[in-house]
Amino acid sequence: MSMAGLVAAWVVFGVVIVSAAAQIGLYISAGVELRRIRRRDRHQLWRRMLASPLAPRISILVPAFNEAVTVIDSVSNLLALTYSNLEVVVVNDGSTDETLDRLVAGFDLSPVGPVYRRVLETAPVRQIFRSSHDARLVVVDKHNGGKADTLNVALSVASGDLVCAIDADTIVAMDALQQMVVPFLDDVNTVAVGGTIRLVNEARWSNGQMVELRAPRHPLVGAQVVEYTRSFLIGRLGWGPLGGNIIISGAFGLFRRDALLEVHGYEHGSVGEDMELIVRLRRNGYERGTPVRVDFSPEPVAFTEAPESVRTLARQRNRWFRGLLDVLTRHRAMILRPRYGSAGLLSMPYFVVVEAVAPIIESLGLVVLVVAAVTGGFPPAGLTIVGAGYLVAICTSYLVLLVDDVAFGTFGHARDRLLMSCHVIVEQLALRPMTLVWRLWGLRLFLQGRTEWGVQERRGLDSAT
C-alpha cells in the first residue's frame, strides 16, 4: 500500500503541477493583455461618444425564474445604467413565486399583446407587458421552458443590435455597457464580449451601486472570491491574446444579436448553455471561413452573490462541470483540428486536460492517498510531494490577488487583505477538494444524462451590506 500511496502522491503532484504549468502560460498572456487593455483604455474617453443615442442599441436580456426576492432591485439597477440607447427585456419563465406580480406592481406594467417577430422556436409566450413608467422596459411572460428557451424568447423580442445576457440577480456597474461596447466598435468581427464578475456578498451599497467591496468573513464565500478572481483575471483574460476564449459567464455577456440569430440562439437541453453558445459561435465562424473574435474586458462590470451554503454551492459546481463535459462532448470534433484555429488547437485541449480530466485524476489520487493513510501505508514523502503541489497553487493565488489589487484597487483596507490571505488557504485546502467531489458527482449525473439545474437561493441586496 505504501507504493500505491507514493504513486498516488506523485499523481496528485503531477496533476497540480501540470495545471499550474498550463496556467503559468495563461498568467503571462493575461499579464500582457491586462497591460495592453489598461493602456488602451486610459487614453480612450469613450463616454462622450457613447452618450449618443446613435451608439449601438443594447437590449439587456434578463431571464427570471422564481426571482421574486431580487427582480425589482435588479431591473431598477438596469434601468439606471448610464448607457443612452438601452432596452431591458425581462422574461418570466413561468415562475411559481411572485416574480411577475412584483414586476407588474413595481413598474406599473400593462399588457400590450403577445405580438413579436418569432425568429426562434420557443415555448409559447403568454403576454407581453410594457411599463407606463419607463418605455425602455419590456416584460414577457411565457410558459416554463428553461434558461436557454427564455433567453431565446428575449432574443426574439429584443430590438437592439447588441444583446446583453445577464442573470436576474446580477447587478451591473453603471458604466459597464460603455466599457463592453468598445470591442464591437473596434473590430467588426467581434461577436461577444465578457467582463469580470465580482462576488459581493459583503459590500457597501448606495443607490443600487456598490461603493466599497469588503472581503467576506464567510470562509466559503471568501474561497469563492479567490477562485473567481483567478478564473476571471487569468483564465478569461489570458485566453484573449491567444485567441482561444471560449467562455463568457452567463451572469453577464454582450453579444451581436445577428450573430446569435445566425447560430439559432441558445441551445435547448445544454446545462452549460453560456459556454456552449460561445463555442458554437466560434465554430460557426471557422466553418464559414470568417473567424470571429470573442473579447474580454478585465474591468469589473457586474456583481453577483456567491452561494453561502455548501449544498447550493455543490449543486452549482456539479452543474458547471456537467456543462463543461456537455460542451466538450458536443463539440469534440473541434479538438486538435487546425481548421478550428486556436479554439481547436489550444483552448479545447486545455479544457479537456486541465478542467475535465485532471480533476478526475486528482480526486482518484487523493482517494488512494487517504486510503493509504488509513491503512497505515502512507509514505512520509507523500506529504512533501502533495504539499509542494498545493504550495505552488497557494502562492500563485496570492500573486493573482496582488495583481488584481494593483490593477483595480479591489480592497481598500489591510483587514480585507488579511482575510483574503486566509481565504486563499481555505480555497486550496477545503474548497478545492470539495469541488473535486462535486465534479465526480457531476460526472456521474452527466453519464446518467441528467440535465436539471437545481435551485439557487437568493438573499437580495438589502441584506448584502
Partner 1 sequence: MILGVDPPTTLMWGLVVIGVFAGCYVMVGSVLDSARVRRARKRDEMQHDLAIVLFRPGQEGTAAAERLTRGPRSILFDLIQRSAADLSGDADARLRSLVAAAGLGRRIRRRIHSRSWRSRAQGAALASLLPFGHPDRLALLDDRHGLVRSRAVDAMAASDIAENAERITALLDDPAQAVRLAAKNALLKGGTAIVPALDLYLFSSAGPGTVFALDVAANLPDPRLVISIEHHALSNDARRREVAARALGPWASRSTILADLLRDDEDEVRAAAALAIAVGGAQDSVAEIGLLLRDRSWTVRRAAGSALASLGAAGAMTLRVYAHDSDLYAQDMARQTLATIEASPSSLDSSLPAGAVGSGAMP
By CB under 8 A, name the binding residues for partner 1.
6, 39-40, 43-45, 48-56, 110, 112-113, 115, 128, 130, 132, 135, 184-186, 188, 379-381, 383-385, 387-388, 391, 394-395, 398-399, 401-402, 405-406, 409, 411-414, 417-418, 420-421, 424-425
CA–CA distances in Å: residue 382 to residues 10, 12, 13, 20, 313: 8, 10, 9, 19, 30
Q: Which is nearer to partner 1, 147 or 257 (CB)?
A: 257
Strand segments, DSSP code E, in 18-157 are: 58-64, 86-93, 109-111, 125-131, 137-142
Q: Which is nearer to partner 1, 68 or 393 (CB)?
A: 393
Q: Which is nearer to partner 1, 157 or 247 (CB)?
A: 157
Q: How far is the CB of 422 from partner 1 (least distance, A)?
A: 8
Q: Which is nearer to partner 1, 30 or 393 (CB)?
A: 393
Helix, coil or strand: residue 164: strand
216 closest CA partner among 461, 407, 420, 27: 420
Q: Which is nearer to partner 1, 407 or 464 (CB)?
A: 407
**Concatenated DSSP letters for 170-216?**
-EE-TTHHHHHHHHHHH-TTEEEEEEEEEE-SSEEEETTEEEEE---
Q: How far is the CB of 413 from partner 1 (least distance, A)?
A: 8
Q: How far is the CB of 224 from partner 1 (least distance, A)?
A: 18
C-alpha 159/C-alpha 139 separation (Å) is 13
Q: How far is the CB of 406 from partner 1 (least distance, A)?
A: 6
Q: Which is nearer to partner 1, 347 or 396 (CB)?
A: 396
Q: How far is the CB of 42 from partner 1 (least distance, A)?
A: 8
Q: Provide the residue type at 103 as one letter.
A: L
Q: Which is nearer to partner 1, 9 or 306 (CB)?
A: 9
Q: How far is the CB of 74 from partner 1 (least distance, A)?
A: 23
Neighbour count for residue 188 (Cβ, 10 Å)? 9
Phi/psi of residue 40, nearest 5 degrees: -65, -45
Task: Give the DSSP letter of residue 295.
Answer: E
C-alpha 162/C-alpha 418 separation (Å) is 41
Q: How far is the CB of 7 from partner 1 (least distance, A)?
A: 12
Q: Which is nearer to partner 1, 78 or 386 (CB)?
A: 386
Q: Residue ranges of the alpha helices (H) in 80-175? A: 99-107, 147-157
Q: Which is nearer to partner 1, 68 or 420 (CB)?
A: 420
Pair 391, 400: CB distance under 8 Å: no
Q: How far is the CB of 41 from partner 1 (least distance, A)?
A: 10
Q: How far is the CB of 126 from partner 1 (least distance, A)?
A: 16
Those residues with Cβ within 8 angstroms of residue 391's Cβ, 6 or more apart along the chain or in another chain: none
303 closest CA partner among 227, 205, 405: 205
Q: Given the C-alpha cell 462576488, which residue does it identify?
A: 199
Task: Give the DSSP letter of residue 94.
Answer: S
Q: Given the C-alpha cell 482518484, which residue does it identify?
A: 364
